[in-house]
Structure 1
Amino acid sequence: MRRFTKLFLLSSVVLLSYFTSVSSIHAAPPPANDVKVQINEQLVTFPDAQPFLDSNHLLQIPVRTLSQKLNYEINWEHKEQSINITIAKSGHTVSFTTGTSIATTNGNPLILDSAPQLINGTTYVPLRDLADAFGIRLQWDAQNHIAILNQDGKYHAPSWYAPSYKVIDGTATAYTGSSAENGGYAGKDFFGNPLAVGSISVDPNIIPLGSKVYIEGYNYDGLPSGGLYATATDTGTAVKGNKIDIYVSDNAIKAAQFGIQQVKIYILNN
């Protein structure tokens, strides 16, 4: 679609940037496995295998790393296709077996919320079950996506704070680099730079030019599947409100097949 004259728009953006607004503001949801673990005031670093959410939406953690951080003793016993893990601290012993939802604590059976797992040579146990077995209070900080183990019995603030992102529920179309769609500037964005996958056209009232964004919800085989990191580098006469135009390196006929799609847009730099 045609672009306004670049010089005219540049002066307009300066004036309009004071009136920026978005449909809603939330904390951006984390990727499925982007969950952190904290012991008292110390954030735990997992050097290799990382915690993950299992099919029951419970946090599984690499048991060796966490046991070392908690100063627990840990022993292993291979049993055919499973591993028996015994963790001990101050005379208190808990035994887990991978693939089994029953553990023992000081010899007494303990029903687990989810079975420990053995994946690529790493043994994972459900964090909540481990905490409960040793009587450790577990906090969940939903805003920052941190599970906090209060081993010392005190409550602790998160040691890492997730940034807040502006989130827009909007629509998207696609455009190409043809001069007819760029105000006579073939293959150039608002700033005169070459258009590339990751360039988008925006309404500067909503998304300021230069903003880094993440877009999800579209379906188009000329763009990365799942989501696209992009930069607001262009504007357009038909791009108004909560709408974006995504550059695609295809011809106009294929770009038109994109149609109008509902998308979610995360503005990454407020």
Structure 2
Amino acid sequence: MKEDYQLNKLTKGLTSLAVSLTVLAGGFLSPFSAHAAGMEVKVQVNDSLIHFPDAQPFLDGNHSTQVPLRFVTEKLGYTVDWQKQGNQIKVTLTNDQHTISLLSGQKEASIDNAPVQLDTASQYQNGRVYVPLRFLSTAAGIPVQWDASSNLAILNKDGQRHMPDYQVFESTAYSADPSENGGYGAIDYMGNPLAMGTVAVDPSVIPLGSKLYIEGYSFDGLPQGGMYVYATDTGGSIKGNRLDIFIPGSKKSLQSFGIQKIKVYNISN
């Protein structure tokens, strides 16, 4: 748990304001406007995990990785144009080398006007177009590797082989009890209300304001599988590769969390 730590209240407030302004200037999204969500499948481009804010990759019935089109193709340098045609979506992807066209629900596509077959059809769900990741990687000429231990697909855009970009941390949990928050009550270091998605970190290891994805924990009060979090808090006992997860509930109810080993991924901006 986050231990009580003594800081001058005025100094903390000024420092928090400075950090908040710096982060906001860089386009940081407050954790309290984002939802925690687990990913069945994760996608990494080179050394950066892709953030899927409202639509997650998944394995379809053919065991192919389907990814939300826009988030991946933007990282690969494509511009995206799509048009609705009845119940289907026609998508055109363009970069300085190729033009790719496909229709949701169909296994046929074209690359530079040459027809190609997909192993599995692209899909249109909840306002998002999903495309087989293997097709994208092949069309873009980008090697892809699969890390089964983390359900992670790695796109080696630079042509080099990359390892899964996570670190193993020790994790604890803390509540809104003032005794766990330096006497300041239910706010984080940056002055935001504590909420699901808040984590306390050592800023010398993880910069304040960082977007992270964590998994490997086991606790009923947290989303199953994993979740997106934001490093907006600190703690006197949070040093090195240690992370403290805020969980709504009483201090006593969180004691069973103990100390757990988790995986921590940095999210690309």
- TM (norm. structure 2) is 0.52
Which residues of structure 1 form unaligned runs of 5+? 15-25, 50-61, 74-86, 88-95, 97-115, 129-135, 148-157
Q: Which letter maps to 2:215?
A: E
For the structure 1 residues 43 and 220, does the alpha-carbon distance in structure 2 shift closer, same or farther, using more than 3 Å as the test?
A: farther
Give the match's secondary structure for 1:180: helix
Give 1:137 deviation, angstroms. Answer: 9.7
Aligned to 1:261: 260
- Which of the residues 43, 47, 54 maps onto 1:27? 47
Contact 2:212/2:230 (<8 A) preserved:
yes
Q: Which letter maps to 2:107?
A: V
Aligned to 1:207: 206
1:117-153 Cα offsets, whole Å, 9 max, x none, are 68989xx99978xxxxxxx999443389569xxxxxx
Contact 1:63/1:125 (<8 A) preserved:
no
Aligned length: 183
Contact 2:107/2:122 (<8 A) preserved:
no
Cα distance in 1 between the residues matched to 2:48 and 2:197 = 20
For the structure 1 residues 193 and 140, does the alpha-carbon distance in structure 2 shift closer, same or farther, using more than 3 Å as the test?
A: closer
Q: How does 1:93-108 map to 2 (within 5 A)?
A: none
Aligned to 1:142: 144
Which residues of structure 2 form unaligned runs of 5+? 19-45, 51-56, 58-64, 77-92, 125-130, 146-152
Aligned to 1:41: 97
Cα distance in 2 between the residues matched to 1:119 and 1:166 = 28
Q: Which letter maps to 1:63?
A: K
1:34-72 Cα offsets, whole Å, 9 max, x none, are 4769899226365635xxxxxxxxxxxx522x1486443
Give the match's secondary structure for 2:66: coil
Cα distance in 2 between the residues matched to 1:211 and 1:195 = 16
Aligned to 1:198: 197
Give the match's secondary structure for 1:255: helix
Cα distance in 2 between the residues matched to 1:168 and 1:267 = 9
- RMSD (Å) for aligned C-alpha atoms: 4.5
Contact 2:101/2:111 (<8 A) preserved:
no
Aligned to 1:63: 107
Q: Which one is further off, 194-203 or 248-257?
A: 248-257
Give the match's secondary structure for 1:256: helix
For the structure 1 residues 67 and 268, does the alpha-carbon distance in structure 2 shift closer, same or farther, using more than 3 Å as the test?
A: closer
Give 1:234 deviation, angstroms. Answer: 0.9
For the structure 1 residues 178 and 126, does the alpha-carbon distance in structure 2 shift closer, same or farther, using more than 3 Å as the test?
A: closer
Q: Which letter maps to 1:48?
A: S
Aligned to 1:175: 174
Q: Which letter maps to 1:72?
A: P
For the structure 1 residues 140 and 205, does the alpha-carbon distance in structure 2 shift closer, same or farther, using more than 3 Å as the test?
A: same
Q: Which letter maps to 1:33?
A: Q
Cα distance in 2 between the residues matched to 1:72 and 1:45 = 9
Give the match's secondary structure for 1:192: coil
Aligned to 1:72: 115
Aligned to 1:91: none
Give 1:174 deviation, angstroms. Answer: 0.5
Aligned to 1:59: none
Give the match's secondary structure for 2:204: coil
Name which one, 1 or 2, has greater alpha-carbon Rg: 1
